[in-house]
Homo-oligomer: A and B are copies of this chain.
Amino acid sequence: MNLGVGRKLGIVLCVGLAAAVQVQAQSRESVDLDMVSRIRQEAFHRSQVMATFGHLTEQIGPRLTNSPNMAKANAWTREQMTAWGLSNVHDEAFDDFGRGWLYRSASVDLLGPRQLSLHAVPKAWTPGTQGAVEGEAIAVVIKTKADLDKYKGKLKGKVVLLSEFREYKAGTEADSKRYDDAGLTALLDYAVPKDANPADRKKRASEYVQRQELSQALNKFLVEEGAIAALSISGWDNGIIRVGGGGSRRAGEPVGVPELAVAAEHYNPLLRSLERGEKVNLRINVDAQFTSETNDPGYNTIAEIPGSGNEVVIIGAHMDSWHAGTGAADNAAGVAVMMEAMRILKTLGVKPRRTIRIALWSGEEQGLIGSGAYVAKHLAEYPESTDPEQKKLPKGFQERGGPLQKKRDYDKVSAYFNLDNGSGKIRGIYAQENLAAMPIFEAWLKPFNDVGATIVTPRNTSSTDHISFDRIGVPGFQFVQDGLDYGTNVHHSDLDTFDHASAEDLKQASAIIAAFAYHAATREQKLPRKPLLEN
């Protein structure tokens, strides 16, 4: 199958004259097949990607930003990349992330009217119980701050059930999916975006602020009222615990009471029991703690294969994770592949024109914070708004305070390549509307068509660290990956573990990343940039 080549002709016909020039460019695009062959041999037959993946997931474990495990991951990846002979291996801090947190164990036991150990995982950044506590459950419905008043004086010594009942949804699609030809071909169609409605952004910002305020008020209320713990329903059915943060990672903010996400099959029955008028008694024991009292910096880990010039190609993936599983598909897989690509290139002794830099980000799960800070420091940033109303909003919602301010290295970075859509193999790349990059990527992908990577789509994809680059006009790309069970079983869940990934997928990805990094670092020109939309 070679959808890449067939489709490329279609695109050429559509975009006319400019594209014709590109076809020339593309046909001239130099692909070092000898190097690709060497990369494939190292990646497929002498792979270390599973050892790296295994160390991150099972010897270190989950890597919540600023947790002790994340520090271990920073240290181990530095050590490993130093051992491989990479240069300039170091951590780079970004300020003011927040507090560290970890949990060691957690149990929720239903003591009456019947007895059962409930499957539950604490929310990140919520306190532990300091030993087992017992209390009666009470169900609340709190959608606005005004709702809090209803429960004044009623929560003392209680376990508060925060979520409403959720009906079970039968799984009528396969858990695990790979792209078929039709699915890949569909990705080649681009939908011209609708005009944005400025009111929508305002509404979303206002809703976000309200949610934040409610969350803080609720945390404060639960503590003041003397609730002993809170339970909410897991984000997914089938006994899977899908859970992120609660409480607050920010020093000085109320962290609330110990709060856990409970498997839906164990949570709904608690509500039904209360509805029947039964007394529901629970014993909860959470060994969790904040590991710092201040808003500590987070750390990205950086390493390089130096180039002969002063330009740079960056490859990266976020190393931080949520805490319920071991952050395997999200995103030890991406980290292991990126590290493996560096190992391969170093082992092959490449001497690139541009420095090949690897960045293992932190704080991704809390809003691309590590990569955002890196880009702001080295490449460019929009000044913050001075409007006090705007400053209340999280950065993503704020209006810009002025035109882009470029930093020293803005013109030096050719491209950033990211991997963070699970552990599935690479099927192509999102060109992020950079049409001039497409024929280049098609040429680079061609020697991997036989292992299933065929597609260059003009589409944008979002939600991970390439966006930190893309939004300031430096070419940032994320690859198209087979979904496997990322969206059904593992994303942010207790099933995000080593066993759900496959060696073949990660080997394939590491070969492709190594080849992309190599070609980006050796081609004569930097990658073309698309026009920057300043507003």
Contacts and interface: CB of A to CB of B under 8 A. Distances in A.
Interface of A: 54, 58-61, 104-107, 109, 113-117, 119, 121, 167-168, 170-177, 237-241, 264-266, 268-269, 272-273, 276, 325, 484-485, 489, 494-495, 497-500
Contacts of A266: 497
A495 B115 contact: no
A172 B484 CA distance: 9
Contacts of A273: 58
A168 B265 contact: no
A76 to B, nearest CB: 13
A176 B484 CA distance: 18
A168 B116 CA distance: 28
Instruction: Choose among A105, A115, A117 the residue with the greatest number of B CB atoms under 10 Å from its CB.
Output: A117
A173 B170 contact: no
8 contacts: A58-B269, A59-B276, A106-B117, A119-B494, A172-B175, A238-B239, A265-B497, A272-B498
Given A497-B269, A499-B264, A174 B176 contact: no
Nearest to A167: B499
A373 to B, nearest CB: 29
A500 B174 contact: no
Contacts of A240: 238-239
Contacts of A497: 265-266, 269
A441 to B, nearest CB: 28
B61 A495 contact: no
Nearest to A165: B499
A499 B104 CA distance: 30
Instruction: Give the 6 A-B CB pairs with smallest separation, nearest first.
Output: A171-B175, A170-B176, A104-B115, A168-B499, A265-B497, A105-B109
Nearest to A110: B105
Contacts of A58: 114, 269, 272-273
B116 A105 contact: yes
A266 to B, nearest CB: 8
A484 B171 CA distance: 9
A114 B109 CA distance: 23
